[in-house]
Amino acid sequence: MIRTNKELFSYITHLVRSGAEHKFTEHHFTPSQKILVEGKKVFSVYIMKSGMVKCFLTTDTGSNFIQEFFGEGELFGEIELMDDCYSYCTIEAIDDVVVYKIQKGDFLQLLDEDKKFNRLFIEALISKLKYKATRHSYNQSHTIEDKLTRLKMKFPALEQVISKQDIADYLGITLRALNRTIRSMSEN
Amino acid sequence: MIRTNKELFSYITHLVRSGAEHKFTEHHFTPSQKILVEGKKVFSVYIMKSGMVKCFLTTDTGSNFIQEFFGEGELFGEIELMDDCYSYCTIEAIDDVVVYKIQKGDFLQLLDEDKKFNRLFIEALISKLKYKATRHSYNQSHTIEDKLTRLKMKFPALEQVISKQDIADYLGITLRALNRTIRSMSEN
DNA sequence: TACCATAAAGGACATTTGTCCTCCCAAAAA
DNA sequence: TTTTTGGGAGGACAAATGTCCTTTATGGTA
């Protein structure tokens, strides 16, 4: 559930360290600070250096739906790269977060000039696509109990790190339903 | 709900017609024929020339979940391009279908050598990502009635073209629930 | 013709999930 | 100290959805 991208992370780190690439700037955020806000203009692409953020979007019914949690190496702002430049989601720091930031123009140039970077970017997109596809189908064909069990397997420290409300928002259910399920699971 | 990609379609058509590009071959399929099968090896990328296919995956609970319907210019097989080469979904023709097919190796080469193609491909991926993100969040925060209304707005001929079972599989609900909702909507 | 799939439709009932409201507790603020 | 705030937990009821089963119609086929 916490998405990372080691290969991209190594390559960006390499680019930054080699000094050949001054286009990346580093930025720090503290818990619950917003890095991108739904509906606001986006002019850059971001890559996670450290920490964890949640990527969510507020639906017209007022509830939040968490798309993904991002960790080391994961990138965001890329969807807003091509067409309009309004963010379709909000990115909020969960703990202390450091990100690399690169202007859209520079990003596109890098994409054109650096074949390896281009390939890594495409792989990142494909990885996200695959993840989203399986997640959506799993979510809509399994019970809350199944989803919770799966989540705990993939990420045992779940409840220590992420609030109950966030877990519920990630699973697309209400907090009440989450509590009910946790209780009934512990009774067996 | 029926995904297309005009820009990619024009460009592929252009590549094929110009004769410079012989890597694309054309293939025909009839209704309910399978073009890709979940779990089987995939060695090519496909681009829709005409007709409509459904892209679905069978969950471990036995139900089908329809990811998307593809029309003109949409591509598939790209997720299997990078990592393993086992198809994670099944692609099945709904009506008469014609696709362009290109070997993985040729596709990757084209991606490297043709900047315009590269950019169109990236845009196609981003467009799919955006679509999946909003669809999933919408699906999990709205009633069946809302989802149906939205679907009919986007695609009025819905029920004439796609079977009830497919519509239900697309919405991630049972056929019974779909019928119930249709009836209750027509009563008002 | 008779038979057999398959899609569509819906009744009856069980289960799941959401809504609304209350309570508890601990940490921070007044 | 008292008050406020936010996370956690759960009772009671309503609404949404799934499960199971039956019926009807239709097109293909033995």
| Mean pLDDT of all residues belonging to chain B | 92
Query: Which residues does chain A have with pLDDT short of 50?
Result: none
Tokens describing residue B129: 């990502």
What is the CA A147 to C1' C23 distance in angstroms? 29
Q: Which residues of B touch A128 (CB under 8 A)?
A: 129
The pLDDT of residue B49 is 97
Q: Which CATH number fits domain A2-141: 2.30.29.30, 2.40.50.140, 2.60.120.10, 2.60.40.1930?
A: 2.60.120.10
pLDDT digits (tens, 9 = 90+) for A90-138: 999 999 999 999 999 999 999 999 999 999 999 999 999 999 999 999 9
For B126-160, b/e burial (b = at least 16 CB within 10 A) is bbbbbebbbbbbbbbbbebeebbeebeeeeeebee
* Nearest nt (C1') from B159 Cα: C8
**Cβ separation of B141 and A172 shorter than 8 Å?**
yes
pLDDT band at B188 (very low <50, low <70, confident <90, very high): low
Does position B107 have pLDDT exceeding 70, yes or no? yes
Q: Is residue A74 classed as helix, strand or coil in its secondary structure?
A: coil
B13 Cβ contact partners less than 8 Å away, ≥ 6 residues apart: none
- The predicted pLDDT at position A188 comes to 59
More confident residue, A1 or B142: B142
Q: What is the mean pLDDT of residues B88-107?
A: 94
B45 — pLDDT class (breaks 50, 70, 90): very high
Q: Mind spelling out the 3-state secondary structure of A11-46?
A: HHHHHHHHCCCCCCEEEEECCCCEEECCCCECCEEE
Domain assignments of chain B as residue spans, ordered by start? 2-141, 142-188
CA–C1' A132–D26 (A): 40
